[in-house]
Structure formats: C-alpha cells, structure tokens
Amino acid sequence: MGLRTVEQFKESLKDGRRVYILGERVEDITTHPILKISVDTAAGDYVLCHSEAPQVRDLFVIPHPETGEPMSRYFEPPRTPDDLEKRLQMIGTAIRLTGGLPFGKDIGTDAMYAIMTTAGQMGKPEYSERARNFLEYLRRNDLNLCGAITCVKGDRGKTPAMQAHPDYYVRVADKNDDGIILKGAKIHITGAPVANEILVLPTRQMRENEPEYAVACAVPANAEGVTFICRPGRGDRTPAEFPSNRPVRGLVEAMIVFDNVFVPWDRVFMCGEWQHSMMIAYTFATYHRFTAVSYKIPVVEVLAGVALAMAEMNGIETRGHIRGKLVEIAAYVETLKALATAAIKSPVMYGDIAVPNPLITNMGKLHFARHYHEMIKIVQDIAGGIITTMPTYLDWQNPDIHDYLEHYLGGSSRYTTEERMKMVQLTHDMVCSASSAHMEVVTMHGEGSMEAQRMMILMESPLIQYRDYALTAAGINVQ
C-alpha cells in the first residue's frame, strides 16, 4: 500500500473498536468532539509525509530498503547517530509544523525496536523472524501504533505474582497451538484509541515464578476483547478563548482492557522468557525517554518564548531580576537540547540497531522533569496574575465594554492590547490551565518516574571507575 493519506488513516479507525469516554461508547471517534482532536493530532504524521515542501518530505519519507517504495522513516531501525538525529528532527518538526505531536509511529517504533533488540538476544530465531515480519507489515500498511507498557499494578508493594488479582499485570492466561490468550489492563496509554496496532510489552523485570507476565505481542486495536476507556482531553477552543491560527492539538490517555484476547503466535515476540523482561522494558524506556526529550524540546522553546514575550509586553524585560529569570529558563532549554545531542552522538549498538546512550538519555529526561515546575513558576511570576483573571474573548467582542478593555489592558507600546491578550491566553494555556496541570503530572510520571531515571543513571554511570580514580589520587591501591 505504501504511504497512506490522512483520509485513509481516518477511515481505518472506523473498524468497530470499543472506545468509551465520559461513560459512553463512541461509535465513530473521528467525529467525536473530544476524540477527533486526537484523531487530527495523530493524522499530523500523514500530513507531513505528503508535504509539498521537499525538505519536510525528505525528512519523514525514505525508500523501502528492498522495493524502493516510499515509506515512513520511522519504520527504518536507527543504525547510526545520523538516524537518531533524524528521529529527533522528525519529532520537533512535527510539533512545530502541525501544532502537536502525532505520537504514534515514534512511540510505536520505540516499542518495536525494543522488541527487535531483545529478540536478537534471546537465542530464539523465531522471535526475530516474527519481529522482522511485523515491521514489514507496518511498512506496507503505514500503520499508527501505541505502546502499551504500564500495567495497573494493584498493590505497588507486591510483585506481580503476589497480587490479590492475577490480572493487575497483563499476563498470558492460556496458550495453545494457535496462540496465546491475553488478560489484564494497561494504563496511561497516550493516543491509544487512535492507534491501528497495540504493542504490548512487560512493564518491569519479572521473576522466575512469574513467566506468564513476561509477554510481548502485537494486538489490533479492534481485536475482540480489547476495550479503551479514555480520560477526556480538551476539545476545540470555546468562544470565550482568544482565537489563534494554530489548531488545538492533543492526545487523550486511555486504559486498555484485554479481556481474554486471542493473539496468534506470529504476533508474539516474548512468552515466558522472564530473564529477558528487564532488557525489553529497559530498552523501550531508553528509546521512549529519548522520544520524550525530543518532543519536550519544542515545548520548552515555546515556554521560554512566552516568558520573554510576556516580559516585553509588561515592559519589564530589562529589569535585573527578570533578566536573571530569563537566564534560568534559557539555560534549562539549552541544557536539554545539549543532552539530546550528546545521547545521539554516543549510541549503544545491539547488532546493527542503535539505541540512544542510556545514561545521557536518562539524564536528559531527569533534567526536564526535575526543573519543569520551576520553569512554570518563572513564567507565572513574569506574566502576572492576569493569566488567571483575564476577561474572555466574548467580553473583548462586546461593543459595550470593548473600549474599556482596549484602554485598560494595554502594556508596552511595542504591542497592541489585542496582541498582549492573545499572549496572555497562550500563557494561561501553558502554565495555569487544566491542560497545563495535566502536563505537569505527565512531566513527573510520563516515560517513567524521576526515580526510574535515577535508577537507570545509577546503573549506567561509571561510579566504580570514578572511585578508583579517587583511590589512586589518595595513594590507595585499587583492588
């Protein structure tokens, strides 16, 4: 089939999948007032693949390695630092050009390449063959994906085998000559209802008595027994919001229930190999945190721009304490970008697949998460209380009171009052709205908690080597 159009992608979502939001089942997610935002956001990838700008199309589209047919670059495993840099560029370009992150083929191939990397280490050629075949299936059909990693977990103080309910972690409930039966639930799955395929991976290291939880497989979104229960995101702008030429973009989160879902063997990439569950989860986490750093760069660039714009509009950009705050936010953004570049330049190779440097990738994600709330505070401080008390656009349009607002809500003469109010609206959206609060929690827990990043940094950091340096410097023999 090759590259799909936006229309073909949207049509593919009308496949009978079971999607619930606000207590009701949705028959057509492409027309639902909230879910259609997710559909249009995910469709951004297909828009870019058909871009008339050669530099954009050349970034997102490459020839199939065997047939030469155009395909998404996401479906070619990264093998060099340049390939990883292209992923970084694709994610940033998607946000800058479409206003949102499609978050399908990027996170989906994070999972796909974790599967392929781990399959190559398990010593079972059938897993590698299945993974290669499934990748080819993705290429031919240009599919949108989601990675289903996080289990609901139940009592966090207990391992999967100790839970009161065995399905708190997704497991293989049964298997036969034809395939496996999957049971359990995954949660916090971004963009799940707009995916064509779900890639299921173990969420943690499993133990010897937990082989049924060591499972990786691919499940069609409309498979019998699959149900999506969505947490609402925002819909289109309301008449009360100042207008923007940028469309509303965003993806809803979903819990995915697997209620005795049959998965044929050709879609199973791990089944019981508990010894390798850590590797597949660890490799996915590294890829996914690299994706996280990649998409957060354009987000915080705009956040830094909002800080400066509001300082200018309030006429305080030259004040010493404001300049100090701008330095902090600039250093935050540029450090994140530098860590992303460093992770690209020194990848870890598994066969011919390049994985972003795990130590530096986790440092980048931890840097973003640790300081994000402080950056929000800086923008709130610079912008002032008007970002929570501003009159609405409906007030602005009312001729009885418009002149009052035009007169009294002005700031620096460099900008009109309307321009200032539009920036106030954007600042409100980014630092004190319901969606910004959601983003703050995503920053803490999305792509793994900060403690998960600390653990991986500790595992990857050559602290023993540094200790030996210190022992040598102190005149102590290294054992």
Q: 74 and 174 in one domain?
A: yes
**Is 76 within the bounds of a domain?**
yes
Please name which of 84, 152, 154, 150 lies closest in space to residue 113, comparing C-alpha atoms.
Answer: 84
**Is 212 within the bounds of a domain?**
yes
Helix (H) or strand (E) holding 278: helix 277-313
Q: 366 and 300 in one domain?
A: yes
Residue 479: the pLDDT is 82
End position of a domain, from candidates 224, 252, 272: 272
What is the model's pTM? Answer: 0.93
End position of a domain, from candidates 223, 248, 272: 272
Q: 124 and 51 in one domain?
A: yes
Q: Are 288 and 452 in contact (CB under 8 A)?
A: no
**Is 377 within the bounds of a domain?**
yes
Q: 355 and 235 in one domain?
A: no
**Is 475 within the bounds of a domain?**
no
Residue 1: the pLDDT is 63
User: How many structural domains does the chain have?
Assistant: 2
Q: 118 and 64 in one domain?
A: yes
What CATH number has the domain bearing residue 369? 1.20.140.10
Helix (H) or strand (E) holding 183: strand 179-190
Tell me 217's DSSP state: E
Residue 100: the pLDDT is 87
**Is 317 within the bounds of a domain?**
yes
**Is 378 within the bounds of a domain?**
yes
Q: 283 and 268 in one domain?
A: no
Q: 287 and 228 in one domain?
A: no
**Is 33 within the bounds of a domain?**
yes
What CATH number has the domain bearing residue 247? 2.40.110.10
**Is 1 within the bounds of a domain?**
no
Provide the angle, in degrees to the nearest 10, between the axes of the packed helices 434-445 and 358-383.
150
Q: 344 and 407 in one domain?
A: yes
Q: 235 and 112 in one domain?
A: yes
- Tell me the residue range of the domain where 198 lies: 6-272
Please name which of 80, 86, 3, 84 lies closest in space to residue 46, comparing C-alpha atoms.
Answer: 3
Residue 447: the pLDDT is 86
30: Cβ contacts below 8 Å, ≥ 6 apart: 10, 13, 14, 36, 39
End position of a domain, from candidates 251, 272, 293: 272
Q: 201 and 288 in one domain?
A: no
Q: 283 and 214 in one domain?
A: no
Residue the block writes with tokens 């931890």: 366
Residue 287's CB is within 10 A of a number of other CB atoms, namely 27
pLDDT (tens, 9 = 90+) of the chain, 479 residues, equals: 689 999 999 999 999 999 999 999 999 999 999 999 999 999 999 999 999 999 999 999 999 999 999 999 999 999 999 999 999 999 999 999 998 889 899 999 999 999 999 999 998 899 999 999 999 999 999 999 999 999 999 999 999 999 999 999 999 999 999 999 999 999 999 999 999 999 999 999 999 999 999 999 999 999 999 999 999 988 899 999 999 888 999 999 999 999 999 999 999 999 999 999 999 999 999 999 999 999 999 999 999 999 999 999 999 999 999 999 999 999 999 999 999 999 999 999 998 999 999 999 999 999 999 999 999 999 999 999 999 999 999 999 999 999 999 999 999 999 999 999 999 999 999 999 988 998 889 888 888 889 999 999 999 999 999 999 999 999 999 98
Tokens of 245: 């030429």
Q: 167 and 19 in one domain?
A: yes
- The residue type of 207 is R
Q: What is the CA radius of gyration of the chain?
A: 24
